[in-house]
Every structure is written in C-alpha cells, then in structure tokens.
C-alpha cells in the first residue's frame, strides 16, 4: 500500500497514521480539504483490518420506539416533532410500548432503542415505568435510550443531579445511551440547528456523566448543511477528547442530514465526500474501535461501499423508524444477503458489540 503514496502533505499524514501515530486536528483538516479520497479510503481500510477482520462485517437487530413526538427544542431540520399543547402529537402508553416490543421480539429483535421529543410535561415516573415494564417482560432485552438532550430534560424535571438520575434509570433497566442529538458539535452550528438545543458543553457533560456511571454507548456526526470542513473536524476532536477521558463510546456513526423541512439548508453530499469523511473518522478516531455506516439513512449502495472504506458495521436491522426517512434493511435475511453479496461473513452483534451470544443460531423470520 505504501507505494501509492507520493509527496503531498496529506500523503505524509496518512503514512503517519499507518505508522500508528495519532494525527492532529490540523492534519485531519488537511486530509478533508486536500487529501486524495482513494488514498484516505485505502488507509482507513488498512487500519480497520488491523483491528477487525476485513472478511467479516457486523449487523444488529433492534426496534426503535419513539415514545412521544411532542418536543420543545424545535430543531429546524426536524419534521417529526409536534408543538406541545397543539393536541396533534402523541405519547405512547406503557402498554403500547410493550405491544411494539412483542412484535419486535416475534421478528427476532432482542434490543430496544427508546427515544422521543423533549417533553417536560411527562413525569419522570413515565420513563421509569416504560423501562421497567419492558425489562420485567423481557429480562435479557438490551435497552438503549435517551439522547443527552433528553437526559438533560430529565435532570431538569426531577431537580436531581444528573448522575443520580442516571443511576435511577440504570436501576430499572437502562443499559446504554446513544450519543444522539450531537449533529455538529460547534456552538455556531447548534445555534443554526436550534437555539434551544443543548450546547456542545452540555452535550459533552451529559455524555461524560453517562460514561462515568457505567452507561456506554455510541456517538455520531450528521453533516451536509452549512457546517464548514473545520467544524466537522472540530466535532470529531470533541468526541476524541471525550473518549480519551472516559472510553465510553463503543462506536461512531457518520451520516448526512436528510431533507425534511424548508427551514434548514441541506446540501447533497456526494458519495465520494461521505466515504472520505468516513475514512477520516476511522483514521482520526483512533480510540473508538467500531465505525458504523447507516444503511437505513444512506441506502444499500453507499452502505456497501463504506465497508471497504473503514466501516465494519451496517447499524441495521432497524424495526420501525419514524424520525428519519429509511432506506434500510427490513429483515435479518436481507441483512445477511446484503453482507454476503459484498463478500463479507455476517456477524450479528448486540448493542455492546458482543458477538458470541449469536454464534450457531439461525436467522429470524422475514418481516411481512
């Protein structure tokens, strides 16, 4: 592989990464601005192969349950939310949540992703009842729930320290948390997304405390709006620095903004740019083992290419997703075929990246 490199500044940066040295934010920005996409992708693939076999790729099966669409954050890109008090939104009852999970379990899912709008009128007991009810009925169900933005809301409505809130949630069955609601972690972009949304500092504080109390999870970036290349790297730097302190991020997922409203500018991100950014994520985030691509958001074509450019997981199968337009794989059978068609040995994993529990099992039935 070293033979492909010439004498451009970005080439020496890639050589540095291949030699096991950490690249700086300035070097990551140089890669984004001037680096050869194919060289970046090749480097990312080689680094991925040093950690995980290039012959395999993983997938998972979980159900997304959006417990309410009432929200007071008013993100400009979001078409999912309803204004509090307009009477048009919904809040799922505990029974409705259980019904959704019954269906998911029947189709082979054993994990739950619980998320919703920021709705201060919902009492803390609601969240405890929902989680404890699911865990009581399905004791081995892994429950990942509540973005940092939702968690900060729970801190406010309870008046308790955030660590105490999280310990209570853990006590009734919360297993991990998503690093959702990040989008772009710069204050300029967060003000464009929504002036009411948690700041970069607040997001980091919430995630750091989650990790400190033993709630690991994921992190992501969503790009393809008015952000600059420097802001993309700034976001990755925030995540890398936090991971250095806590080690709580199991995976990182880059995806792109989807056109949902006229209030928010979205640009069409070329496939080459997406794969370039994904490759930079693998190279720069040297302390996060797994880089996922979202087939659900980006589609099968890009998803398959991403597995050759630094990603090792497809972040599917997702049963029900209301917030984002979905191009995803609907069944485990589809996921297996998708990976096998790309030349990969499929490995099913849980949300904590445990593979062993699925060894030797047959895939679940096809969803109707």
- Residues that constitute the known binding site: 71, 75, 77-78, 147, 183, 294, 316
Tokens describing residue 20: 């096991």
DSSP state letter for 322: S
DSSP lists the bridge partners of residue 11 as: none
Q: What is the DSSP string of 327-358?
A: ----SHHHHHHHHHHTT-EEEE--TT---GGG
Is there a contact between 182 and 236 (Cβ–Cβ < 8 Å)? no
Tokens describing residue 354: 């445990």
Q: How far apart are CA 331 and CA 320, in angstroms?
A: 11
Is there a contact between 149 and 181 (Cβ–Cβ < 8 Å)? yes
Q: How far apart are CA 49 and CA 310, in angstroms?
A: 8
Cβ-based neighbours of 32, under 8 Å, separated by 6 or more: 229, 232, 233, 276, 277, 280
* H or E element, residue 281: helix 271-284
Query: What's the length of the chain?
Result: 368
DSSP state letter for 326: -
DSSP lists the bridge partners of residue 91 as: 68
Is there a contact between 351 and 176 (Cβ–Cβ < 8 Å)? yes
Annotated binding site for (3R)-3-methyl-D-ornithine: 147, 294, 316
Is there a contact between 76 and 193 (Cβ–Cβ < 8 Å)? yes
Annotated binding site for S-adenosyl-L-methionine: 77, 183
Distance, CA of 169 to chain centre: 21
Annotated binding site for [4Fe-4S] cluster: 71, 75, 78
């Amino acid at each position: 592989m070293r033979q492909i490199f010439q004498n451009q500044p970005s080439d020496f940066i890639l050589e540095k990464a291949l030699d096991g040295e950490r690249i700086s934010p300035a070097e990551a920005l140089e890669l984004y601005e001037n680096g050869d996409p194919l060289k970046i992708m090749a480097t990312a693939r080689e680094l991925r192969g040093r950690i995980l076999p290039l012959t395999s790729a993983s997938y998972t099966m979980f159900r997304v349950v959006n417990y309410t669409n009432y929200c007071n954050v008013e993100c400009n890109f979001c078409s999912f939310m309803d204004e509090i008090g307009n009477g048009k939104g919904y809040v799922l009852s505990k029974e409705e949540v259980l019904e959704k999970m019954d269906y998911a379990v029947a189709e082979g899912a054993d994990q739950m992703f619980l998320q919703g709008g920021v709705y201060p009128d919902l009492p803390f007991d609601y969240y405890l009842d929902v989680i404890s009810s699911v865990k009581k009925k399905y004791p081995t169900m892994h429950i990942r729930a509540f973005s940092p933005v939702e968690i900060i809301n729970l801190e406010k409505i309870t008046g308790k320290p955030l660590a105490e809130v999280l310990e209570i949630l853990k006590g009734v069955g919360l297993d991990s948390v998503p690093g959702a609601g990040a989008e772009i972690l710069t204050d300029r972009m967060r003000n464009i997304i929504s002036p009411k949304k948690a700041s970069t500092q607040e997001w980091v504080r919430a995630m750091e405390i989650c990790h400190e109390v033993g709630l690991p999870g994921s992190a992501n970036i969503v790009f393809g709006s008015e952000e600059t290349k420097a802001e993309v790297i700034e976001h990755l730097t925030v995540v890398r620095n936090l991971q250095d302190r806590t080690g709580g991020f199991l995976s990182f997922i880059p995806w792109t903004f989807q056109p949902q409203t006229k209030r928010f500018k979205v640009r069409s991100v070329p496939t080459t740019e997406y794969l370039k950014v994904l490759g930079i994520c693998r190279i720069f985030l040297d302390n996060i083992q797994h880089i996922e691509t979202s087939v659900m958001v980006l589609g099968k074509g890009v998803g398959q290419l991403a597995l050759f450019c630094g990603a090792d997981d497809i972040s599917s199968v997702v049963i029900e997703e209301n917030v984002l337009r979905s191009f995803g794989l609907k069944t485990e059978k589809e996921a297996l075929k998708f990976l096998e068609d790309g030349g990969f040995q499929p490995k099913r994993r849980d949300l904590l990246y445990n593979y062993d529990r699925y060894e030797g099992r047959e895939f679940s039935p096809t969803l109707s």
